[in-house]
Each structure stands twice: as C-alpha cells, then as structure tokens.
A and B are shown apart, each in its own frame.
Chain A
Amino acid sequence: MSTARILVVDDNPTNLKLASDLLECEGYHILKAVDAEEAQLVIQRTPPDLILMDIALPGMDGLALTSKLKADEKTRHIIIVALTAFAMRGDDAKAHATGCDGYITKPVNTRTLPDEINAMVTRKGNRPRQ
C-alpha cells in the first residue's frame, strides 16, 4: 500500500471517478481535476507525486500541460502518466517526447493499473509523502 498523492485529470466525470476510486482503493491519496486550469490550481496548492493525465482535455490539452509542468523547476519532478483513448501508433512516442513518464491507453485495465502506477511511483525513487 502506498500513500503517495495522485492527481487524476479527466474531463469525463465517470472516467475521473473510475480511476480515482480504483487508486483510492489501493490506499493512494487522490486529488481530482476536470481540466488543465483546475489541475494547475490543485498542483499549486497540493503538489502530487504523480499525475494521471487525460490527453484530450477541453482548452489546454494534457500534452500542453505536461510540457508546461516539465519546463517548470517547481513541478518538473512530478511523474506524469498519460491516459488516452487515442490508441494510435505514434501517440505513445508523442507522449514521451512531450515529457510524459508513462502512457496508458483507455479503456484502462483495472486489474493492472494499480501495479503500473505503483511501479512508476517507486521506480522514480520518489518517497511517498507521509
């Protein structure tokens, strides 16, 4: 069980709830945002260890927000995992090029997502916040 703090960004409320509840069940502390603007406010107030970032967001999209966060000294360390229904070849490369640390396609596999997230959190050597 990890106590790492995870921000889930998704404009679809059902999918936002699914990922959030799933990870909450695993013991993570969950923050939520429905778009890039809200996500930035949350990050300022309570910096997360990892962001599960939907790519197709209204307004500023997930990749643009990722670039912004990775360009900023204060937020560069946050692990960003792209989450998208665009299961097109080349999208994963695009996500990595933008600075995403991981890439997960929708529909999410609820049986493997917690392990994937856990591996990301521990691999980076990020100490979960107490």
Chain B
Amino acid sequence: MTTKGPAEVADVNIDVRRAEALLKTGALQSAIFNSVNFSSIATDAKGVIQIFSVGAERMLGYTAAEVMNKITPAHIFDPQEVIARAKALSVELGTAITSGFEALVFKASRGIEDIYELTYIRKDGSRFPAVVSVTALRDAQDAIIGYLLISTDNTARKHAEADKSKLQEDSRMKSEFLASMSHELRTPLNGIIGFAEFLSDGKPGTLNAKQKEYLLNILNSGKYLLQLINDVLDLAKVEAGKMELNPESFSLAPAIEEVCAVATPMAQKKHIQVNVTVVPELGSVTLDQQKFKQVLYNLISNGINFTEDGGGAEIFAAPLDARRFTLSVKDTGIGIKPEDMKRLFREFEQLESGASRRYEGTGLGLALTRKIVELQGGSIGVESKVGQGSTFSVVLPLITKAGKP
C-alpha cells in the first residue's frame, strides 16, 4: 500500500468537506429530484408513492398530487409485464413473489442491485419503454423505510436497436439471396462446362482443329464465369458471417511455391519473371491454408495481369514481429492513381472500367482478398506509382483462431 503525502491527505479532507456541504444544503438531492430527464419516484416501505419528481411528472403525465399517498409505482407499469416479472423472479429466486409492488422491489429489498426494463403507461394511456433502477432506502438502524425508483426513457435506444436489427436482417437476406442465386447459376454451368470439356477431349468423336478451338473458347468462358460465381458466393458467405476458418499448421515456403506453380503458365505467356523470397526464419504458420493460398493467388495473378509483357513480379515473405508476418506482392505493372486507391478494395470496382478495360478480371478479387485477410485478423494495404508498379502488402497473424470470427 502506498502512503499518502500530507498534500494528498489535505486534498481528501477538502473533498469530504465539499461532499458534506452538498448533502447538508440538500443541493444534490434537489438537483436529482428536479432533473427533467430522469423520473425519480420515492415510496414508503409498503410502496405508496411519497415523492414524485418533476422529471416523473413530465415523463408520466401525472402531477405529484395525483399519485402521492394514493398509488404504488406498480400501477403505472404495464400490468402484464409486472405479472411476468413476478413469475420470472419467483423461478429465479426460488420463492413465491406476488405480482405488484413486491415484484418491482424484491431484489432491492434483499440488497441485490437491480436495474430492469419495463413499459410505463402514461396518464393518457400511451406507453414507453423505460430502464428502471431500484434502491432500498434505509434508516440509521438499516431498516427499510422506502424505495427509490429512478427511470429513464428508453425509446430512442429501442428505436436504434430496431433500426440496427433491420439492417442486419436486410444484409442477411441479401446474402442468402446471393448464395441461392449462385447455386442456381452453377447448375446450368455444370452442363456448359461439362459438355464442352467432354467434347473437346474428343471422347464422343474426333474433332477438327477449329471445332476444338471453339469448344475450348466455350470451356474457358464457362470456367471464367464459374470463377466469378464462386467469388460472389464467397463474398456472400463473408457478409453473412458464414465463412469459416479451418486453421492448420503448415510451412509457408512450400505453400507459396505451390501457388506460384499454378500462376506460372500465366506468367510465362507474358514473359514475366516471378521471384520468390521467403525469409528462412519464417517457418510454419497456423492459418487456413486454402484461404492463404487464395489470397496469394489473387494478388500474384493480379500482378501478372496488370503487368505488360516482359515485366517482373516479386513475392516476399518475412516476419514482422513476434505475432505477425508480412507477405508482399510487387509488380512492375501499370500502377494505380492515388485517387483510385480508395476504390481498390471495393466489390465490382475494376479501375479503368468500360471501353478502356483491357485487363481481364472480375473486379471481385481484391474485395474478396481484403475480406478473407481481415477474417483471419490481418490487414492489407497497397503502395503504387503510376507507370512503375504496385506493391500489395498483407499482414497476417502467425496463428489465427478457428471457427467463425
């Protein structure tokens, strides 16, 4: 324990004297009772109203004279709710509690702190939700001489909650719609991709070169459309909170190599050299491996896609601190204008859209990549200079937690 210096003791004494002064003059009490934003109702031990504050008058529409020494606060709450509360308390505390005033103050009378939500009914019959705090008033011998009920109008908060839950419901319905639509879209694609593949492999009969070429065009378009649908489905899953993480321990270097192997044909076609550096200290990580690969694949295929023939790309992975590592993908591509940076990670926003659109891509890749990275507790950022290239940097935890976030 620390010893207080003389100055501090003096300060405490001043504080105590100030508090006493406030109580003695009744300034505190009168401020509380005259506050118009709180309803303060004091009763005697039996519950009959003795004090009805200005705030209570304003909130409930009764004058103090109409209720004092006449009724208990139980008469101005929704009676059904008071009955329900009595029943719930009887079960909770294992003792029979009668409906009425006892249900309002039972906990407070046992010295249990009690704040609850109930509906008040005003003099004109209108209703509003309130948060009620109940305290027992005790005399010097600790005997209960009454109760104090302080209430605030909860209407605004209730509205805010309702708005929020409506927004969540809308978002959930949108995601469900997307998910079911994606499913419907995959069914006919099964026929398109399947028959094109079946035919182009020449299984039902021999094809000439042109026929085979056109079939491969159908097949590639179908596969591209499928990728788009899968991305939409993934986004919908993230939005609906249904994308699950399945972390496992794996070595980073081979995982990165595997992704590069998939991207290599694309890079070779454009004569783009892809260099990979994984700092040796970076060994195993515990992440959702499939999603890690998805992120890296999206970034490296973007890098290759937006880089002119003969350019270069670089993948670099290194520890950042004790808990995190960085994965960056650098290209020597067209770069991104500063004003476009903000739109970069949004859905369906491929920059330079419309007629000037020269680069293949769904416009979903980066939005999805960001969501998958954030789902694993990571972050993504970009640095770019127009005409010089871009560097996308992902920071991920070395160990991520399982399940839905």
Contact = CB atoms under 8 A, between A and B. Distances in A.
Interface of A: 12, 14-15, 18, 21-22, 25, 85-89, 106-111
B80 interface: no
Given A25-B204, A85-B183, A14 B197 contact: no
B190 A108 contact: yes
A104 to B, nearest CB: 11
B336 interface: no
Contact of A14 (B191, B226, B230, B246): B191
Nearest to B194: A18
B198 A21 contact: yes
Contacts of A88: 237
Contacts of A85: 183, 186-187, 190
Nearest to A85: B186
A110 B194 contact: yes
Given A85-B183, A86-B183, A107 B194 contact: yes
Contacts, number: 52
Given A21-B204, A108-B190, A109-B197, 18 more contacts: A12-B187, A12-B190, A12-B191, A14-B191, A15-B194, A21-B198, A25-B204, A85-B183, A85-B190, A88-B237, A89-B244, A106-B187, A106-B190, A107-B193, A110-B194, A110-B198, A110-B201, A111-B201
B357 to A, nearest CB: 27
Interface string B194-230: 1101100101100000000000000000000010001
30 contacts: A12-B187, A12-B190, A14-B188, A14-B191, A14-B195, A15-B191, A18-B190, A18-B191, A18-B195, A18-B198, A25-B203, A25-B204, A85-B186, A85-B187, A86-B183, A87-B233, A89-B244, A106-B186, A106-B187, A106-B190, A107-B186, A107-B190, A107-B193, A108-B190, A108-B194, A109-B197, A110-B194, A110-B197, A110-B201, A111-B201
A84 to B, nearest CB: 9
Contacts of B194: 15, 18, 22, 107-108, 110
A113 to B, nearest CB: 9
Interface in B221-277: 226, 230, 233, 237, 244, 246
B226 A107 contact: yes
- Per DSSP, chain A at the interface is loop
A63 B37 CA distance: 60
Given A85-B183, A86-B183, A89-B244, A15 B201 contact: no
Interface string B142-186: 000000000000000000000000000000000000000001001
Contact of B198 (A12, A22, A89, A106): A22
A48 B244 CA distance: 37
Nearest to B184: A85
Contacts of B189: 107
B326 to A, nearest CB: 28
A14 B198 CA distance: 13
A85 B193 CA distance: 13
Given A25-B204, A85-B186, A86-B183, A111 B197 contact: yes
A87 B193 CA distance: 16
Most chain A beta carbons < 10 A, residue from B187, B226, B233? B187
Contacts of B201: 110-111
A21 B201 CA distance: 14
Contacts of B244: 89
Contacts of B204: 21, 25
B238 to A, nearest CB: 13
